[in-house]
């Protein structure tokens, strides 16, 4: 039985399209979003609205506390466990999200590397991006060539693996465990102008829905500086406002700019994925896009009713 995977950049409309398709085929949804999984990020992570959560079973949404650490390996394990349960109930499953490492854990598999080591990772996080890249070039030039020079997450992981095992992470590539179920991969995209407009509108809506107040609560928790949740776009910019570094309007401008930058990186990453059926959603309604997604899924899986 196939599993539908809907991917694409932030603000392109994945959540509502997934909900539409899920209702049409009686599916449950698994979130592949590294921030939606936290309980304290309802507004800033743009969690599916209550009316959607009330109608359609969603998994890995709002289940972790703010101080939790979660990675692609745990996501892959949780995803397989939840998928087994969904399919055992005789229902279909849709995975939806834009977290690139989570998507890669499904589409390209995971190699049997060591689990994350928080103290070592915190130590590496204190280094500049240039220092991280320089060290990786020294110990593992192959991965240094393949990892983007500004991708701190992957640079840190590569050095973490080397320090924990004494082996370059590139030596482990090729031993990835494939995903147990065939994936029908559908990517949503739109014109750059439309995507930027959606991002601007979403940031404005987040402010109206209480993003500043939500960020203040997170700020008051005094979480460790290396807590992953603190890297979330929207909160880190507002923390600068709370520290008095710039006015609120500048925080909003930075959120919009950083979200647009993130969307471009997501698109570049997803364009490199193989076997993705891309749909341009520019000017289309949720229903129109949902029907196109259903058509693609049915074309790949004739058993889908």
pLDDT tens figures, 237-248: 999 999 999 999
Q: Which of 19-28, 115-124, 157-166, 286-295 has the lowest mean pLDDT?
A: 115-124
305 against 220, higher pLDDT: 220
Residue 244's domain is classified under what CATH number? 3.40.50.300
Alpha helices, DSSP H only, in the chain?
14-25, 50-55, 72-88, 100-107, 118-125, 129-139, 141-146, 152-165, 192-208, 211-220, 235-242, 248-271, 286-300
Q: What is the pLDDT of residue 148?
A: 85
Q: What is the pLDDT of residue 185?
A: 98
Please state, in angstroms and rounded to a whole number, the distance separating the CA atoms of residues 305 and 302: 8
Over residues 123-139, mean pLDDT: 93
pLDDT reading at 73 higher than 90? no
For the record, the structure tokens of 231 come out as 């890297």
Helix, strand or coil, per DSSP, at residue 135: helix
Conformational region of residue 196, where left means phi above 0, alpha means psi within -120 to 50, and beta covers everything else:
alpha
If asked whether residues 92 and 52 sit together in one domain, one would say yes
Q: What percent of the chain has pLDDT over 90?
A: 79
Q: Which of 49-58, 143-152, 238-247, 293-302 has the lowest mean pLDDT?
A: 143-152
Which tens digits make up the pLDDT trace of 187-242?
Answer: 999 999 999 999 999 999 999 999 999 999 999 998 888 788 888 999 999 999 99
pLDDT reading at 299 higher than 80? yes
If asked whether residues 153 and 23 sit together in one domain, one would say no
Instruction: Tally the C-alpha atoms within 13 A of residue 136's C-alpha that lie toward its C-beta.
Output: 30
pLDDT reading at 69 higher than 90? no
Q: What percent of the chain has pLDDT over 70?
A: 99
Over residues 239-267, mean pLDDT: 97
Q: Indicate the number of domains in the chain.
A: 2
Per-residue confidence band for 175, with pLDDT thresholds at 50, 70 and 90 = low
Query: In which domain, by residue range, is 144 found?
Result: 118-171
Q: What is the pLDDT of residue 173?
A: 74
Q: What is the pLDDT of residue 44?
A: 92
Please state, in angstroms and rounded to a whole number, the distance separating the CA atoms of residues 298 and 277: 13
Domain presence at residue 188: yes
Q: What is the pLDDT of residue 55?
A: 96
Q: What is the pLDDT of residue 113?
A: 74
Per-residue confidence band for 121, with pLDDT thresholds at 50, 70 and 90 = confident
Q: What is the pLDDT of residue 127?
A: 92
Domain end residue (candidates: 171, 206, 241):
171
If asked whether residues 131 and 79 sit together in one domain, one would say no
Domain presence at residue 305: no
Tell me the whole-structure pTM to 2 decimals: 0.86
For the record, the structure tokens of 97 come out as 């999200």
Over residues 25-46, mean pLDDT: 95
If asked whether residues 220 and 74 sit together in one domain, one would say yes
Q: Which of 106-115, 142-151, 190-199 has the lowest mean pLDDT?
A: 106-115
For the record, the structure tokens of 25 come out as 């085929």
pLDDT reading at 278 higher than 90? yes
Domain end residue (candidates: 171, 189, 211):
171
The answer to whether the beta carbons of residues 232 and 41 sit under 8 Å apart is yes
Please state, in angstroms and rounded to a whole number, the distance separating the CA atoms of residues 5 and 32: 9
Phi, psi angles (nearest 5°) of residue 238: -70, -30
If asked whether residues 53 and 127 sit together in one domain, one would say no
Per-residue confidence band for 178, with pLDDT thresholds at 50, 70 and 90 = confident
If asked whether residues 90 and 205 sit together in one domain, one would say yes
Residue 237: C-alpha distances to residues 38, 186, 195, 219 (Å): 18, 32, 21, 11
Residue 206 CA, chain-centre distance (Å), reads 18
Give me the sign of the Cα torsion angle 222, 225, 226, 229. Answer: positive
If asked whether residues 241 and 185 sit together in one domain, one would say yes
Give the other-Cβ count within 10 Å of 297's Cβ: 23
Domain presence at residue 135: yes
């Amino acid at each position: 039985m196939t599993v539908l995977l809907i991917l694409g950049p932030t603000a392109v409309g994945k959540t509502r399209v997934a909900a539409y398709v899920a209702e049409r085929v009686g599916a449950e949804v698994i979130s592949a979003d590294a921030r939606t999984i936290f309980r304290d990020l309802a507004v800033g992570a743009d969690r599916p609205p209550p009316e959607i959560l009330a109608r359609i079973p969603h998994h890995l949404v709002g289940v972790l506390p703010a101080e939790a650490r979660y990675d692609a390996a745990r996501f892959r394990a949780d995803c397989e466990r939840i998928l087994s349960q969904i399919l055992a109930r005789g229902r279909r499953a849709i995975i939806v999200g834009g977290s690139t490492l989570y998507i890669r854990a499904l589409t390209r598999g995971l190699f049997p590397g060591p689990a994350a080591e928080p103290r070592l990772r915190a130590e590496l996080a204190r280094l500049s991006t240039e220092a991280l890249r320089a060290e990786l070039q020294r110990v593992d030039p192959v991965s240094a060539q393949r990892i983007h020079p500004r991708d701190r997450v992957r640079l840190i992981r590569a050095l973490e693996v080397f320090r924990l095992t004494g082996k370059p992470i590139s030596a482990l590539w090729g031993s990835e465990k494939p995903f147990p179920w065939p994936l029908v991969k559908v990517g949503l995209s739109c014109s750059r102008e439309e995507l930027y407009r959606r991002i601007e509108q979403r940031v404005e809506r987040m402010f109206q829905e209480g993003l500043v107040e939500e960020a203040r609560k997170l700020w008051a928790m005094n979480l460790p500086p290396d807590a992953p949740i603190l890297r979330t776009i929207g909160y880190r910019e507002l923390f600068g406002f709370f520290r008095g570094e710039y006015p609120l309007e500048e925080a909003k401008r930075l959120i919009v700019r950083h979200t647009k930058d993130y969307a471009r990186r997501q698109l570049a990453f997803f364009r490199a994925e193989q076997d993705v059926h891309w749909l341009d959603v520019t000017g289309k309604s949720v229903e129109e896009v949902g029907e196109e997604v259903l058509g693609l899924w049915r074309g790949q899986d004739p058993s889908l009713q």
